[in-house]
Amino acid sequence: MLIARLQSLGLVIGPALFALSPLFWVGGHYGMVGGMLIAVATVPWVYGLIGEYGRLRPLLPRVAGLWLLLVLLGMFGTIAFGLQGFFEGVFGVADQTALDAFADYPPWGAAVLLLSGPVFPLALLVLGILHWRTRLSPRWAAGLLCAAAVLFPLARLLRLDLLAVAADLLMLAAFCVLAWRSWPRR
């Protein structure tokens, strides 16, 4: 019961830390504090998502296993983006210069950021769909998660602070419901 409760808490702590990151954006970039928050948020969040895998596995064993693979790959991309923001802040290159530097390493930059980065919102969208289908959470909460999964990358691409905060708060609300539903009761 302790592990399940810690995993449920991870579903709240991870998105909550993540939701703080846009508040520290520097010119549309994560910056040192925002990047650190993103990287740190992934630890409790992935721990909580592993708990969701445990809930989904008996209902959809193959799909749940493939979804967990998406989560892990997506979290790798999330950590990479967080660390990119952190190091941009540390080295004072939080502008287009940092992104232009990846042009010298096209396959590696693409693998680290462009391929793995969008996988995390995709994994969240799939989680919303799985919750909708299995009814592990109310359909409105699954819909919230799907909406947040779509708004999340849109806010980052457009670099709109207000949209990023809204998307992250929507995601936090959806994960609070998931955490409540997964909280073990006696």
Segment 62-79, tens digit of pLDDT: 999 999 999 999 999 899
- Give the pLDDT confidence score for residue 84 in this predicted structure: 85
Q: Is 49 helix (H, G, I), strand (E, B) or coil?
A: helix
Are 184 and 1 within 8 A, CB to CB?
yes
What is the value of pTM for the model shown? 0.90
Q: How far apart are CA 125 and CA 120, in angstroms?
A: 9
Are 113 and 80 within 8 A, CB to CB?
yes
Q: Show the domain range for 63.
A: 2-182
CB-hemisphere CA count at 13 Å for 76?
A: 12
Q: What is the pLDDT along the chain (186 residues), one digit of tens a residue?
A: 899 999 999 999 999 999 999 999 887 778 899 999 999 999 999 999 999 999 999 999 999 999 999 999 999 989 988 888 888 888 888 666 766 777 777 777 667 777 777 899 999 999 999 999 999 999 999 999 999 999 998 988 888 888 989 999 999 999 999 999 999 877
User: What are the backbone angles phi and psi of residue 135, rounded to the nearest 5°?
Assistant: 60, 30
How many folded domains does the chain comprise? 1
- Give the pLDDT confidence score for residue 148 in this predicted structure: 95
